[in-house]
Amino acid sequence: MRGAGGRADTKPSSVLDIWFTEGMTPLRLTKPLIAVLNELLDAKRNEEEIWGLEICRKADLGPGTVYPILDRLTERGWVTSREETGPHPGRPARRFFAFTGAGHEQATHALQMRELSRTRRGLKPRDPGPQDAG
């Protein structure tokens, strides 16, 4: 979204445009971004570490989709990453991802606002995953 003079607009156009850092252009809350956020939230909730290819597998998305999302989340301070330090014979070191405190709050808020928007428009809430079923 570009405003006058080619500069980035400073207002999100809808609830699906979310802000990560002041002055940055918003990212659309797309299905792939939602899937990545949900996998990171599940890992945090279950106190598990999650690595990039595991996010790909669980979200049913390719690495060409997931890693750019993770990079953008990292650039905006929502996610941190670290490389595996222990032995990992026969494979490359894993890159683990986790929310920052602010990132966790912002992701939770963005997904809650999305659900509220869907409800107001008469759309079904997302199907609860196994972690949500009770």
* Topology adopted by domain 35-84+92-114: Arc Repressor Mutant, subunit A (1.10.10)
**pLDDT of 41 higher than 90:** yes
pLDDT per position as a tens digit, 76-110: 999 999 999 988 889 999 999 999 999 999 999 98
Amino acid at 34: I
pTM for the predicted model, two decimal places: 0.76
Question: Which residues lie below 8 Å from residue 46, measured CB to CB, with a gap of 6+?
Answer: 131
Q: Which residue has the higher pLDDT, 3 or 79?
A: 79
The rounded distance, in Å, linking the Cα atoms of 57 and 44 is 17
For residue 54, what pLDDT is reported? 98
The rounded distance, in Å, linking the Cα atoms of 66 and 57 is 10
Contact indicator for 99, 50 with CB cutoff of 8 Å? no
pLDDT per position as a tens digit, 61-75: 999 999 999 999 999
Contact indicator for 75, 68 with CB cutoff of 8 Å? no
Where along the chain do its domains lie? Answer: 35-84+92-114
